[in-house]
Structure 1
Amino acid sequence: MKKSTKLAFTFVTLASLVGTAAYAEQDKGGDMRDGSRWRLQKAVRDSDGGINFDQFSEAMNPQLKKILADNGGKVTVEQLAAALEKARFERMAKRMIERYDSKGEGVLTQEDVTAHQKKMFALLDKNNDGKIGKNELPKRGDRHHRQSEVE
């Protein structure tokens, strides 16, 4: 079997596994977390009514395609896990800096963290006595609502 055929087969297999996991997640009431369904729908909308295999392949999972390209077309479990973990933590770090960076400098300082914590404390200290009492703690499920008020 030619190297390009093996690579295409490997990619389709990996994409199918990712798609199967996403479909299973969707069946549990979730949605496709990797965004491939959205990218596929966008590709079809942007086309003249249909997409060919190359367009389909491009839309499915560009992150996986990049990881494979960065590793010479083959990736081990360890390499894939490390790349996915790195990308996940980079997204988390970016969101944290966006949330805390009060000056919009793209960096996180102790000053930013303290200012954010003071805002959160003030929101929780409903009676303004300088303490957070048990009755002022957020109820289960309130966390997301309170955090969005702070931001």
Structure 2
Amino acid sequence: MQTKMKTALTFLALAGMIGGLTATARADDMRHGGKGHHGMRLEKADADNSGDLTFEEYATTIDARLANADADGDGQMTVGEIADEIVRMRAERAARRLVRRFDVDGDGALTPGEIENRQRKMFALLDRNDDGVIDRSEMPRRHGKGHHRRDRRH
């Protein structure tokens, strides 16, 4: 069971990280409560709730995101250290989303039973004819032959 759980959690974490990658939104969106430069939310960065950002508020928010990037404590952040921190932050966000989705009892942790419960629900949705197996005709269809979602240009 331990191996099954580790495999499931690894798959879920990887799926969440891949699915969680997004492009940075336009700075105009900040004024409307959306994500702006660096994916920052105006409401969270606006420490004094004035409705706008000062340089100090902006810098404090960015500094907080990079606080752990200097892994070796030498006062410099290398590309590798920054990349490692970005990967860690994205993985943590993906893990939080997965826990929120799967955590039936709301205790903030996943059990093998909660993971299996979600897997059964997902399987049941795919098994459209309720015969206990999923065949090719029941699998979700892709958008056009040979075209993957990541290949589409907007």
TM range (shorter): 0.5 to 0.7
Corresponding residue to 1:138 among 124, 127, 140: 140
8 Å CA contact retained: 1:39, 1:60: no
Question: Is the alpha carbon distance of 1:76 and 1:113 closer, same or farther for their aligned partners in structure 2, counting shifts above 3 Å?
Answer: same
Structure 2 unaligned regions, length at least 5:
1-22, 27-34, 144-154
Q: Please report the RMSD computed on the Cα atoms of aligned residues, expressed in angstroms.
A: 3.6
Task: Give distance in 1, aligned partners of 2:75 and 2:96.
Answer: 28
Question: Is the alpha carbon distance of 1:49 and 1:129 closer, same or farther for their aligned partners in structure 2, counting shifts above 3 Å?
Answer: closer
Name 1:100's counterpart in structure 2: 102
The aligned runs of 1:71-110 (5 Å cut-off) are 71=73, 73-110=75-112
Whether 2:43 is the aligned partner of 1:35: answer no
Whether 2:68 is the aligned partner of 1:67: answer yes
Query: Cα distance, 1:67 vs. partner?
Result: 3.5
8 Å CA contact retained: 1:126, 1:136: yes
Name 1:47's counterpart in structure 2: 50
Secondary structure, aligned partner of 1:34? helix
Name 1:126's counterpart in structure 2: 128
Normalising to structure 2: TM-score of the pair?
0.54
Larger radius of gyration: 1
8 Å CA contact retained: 1:122, 1:128: yes
8 Å CA contact retained: 2:69, 2:77: yes
Query: Cα distance, 1:98 vs. partner?
Result: 1.6
Task: Give distance in 2, aligned partners of 1:77 and 1:58.
Answer: 21
Structure 1 unaligned regions, length at least 5:
1-20, 142-151
Identical pairs, percent = 32
Query: Cα distance, 1:88 vs. partner?
Result: 1.4
Task: Give distance in 2, aligned partners of 1:118 and 1:136.
Answer: 16
The structure with more helix, counted as a fraction of residues: 1
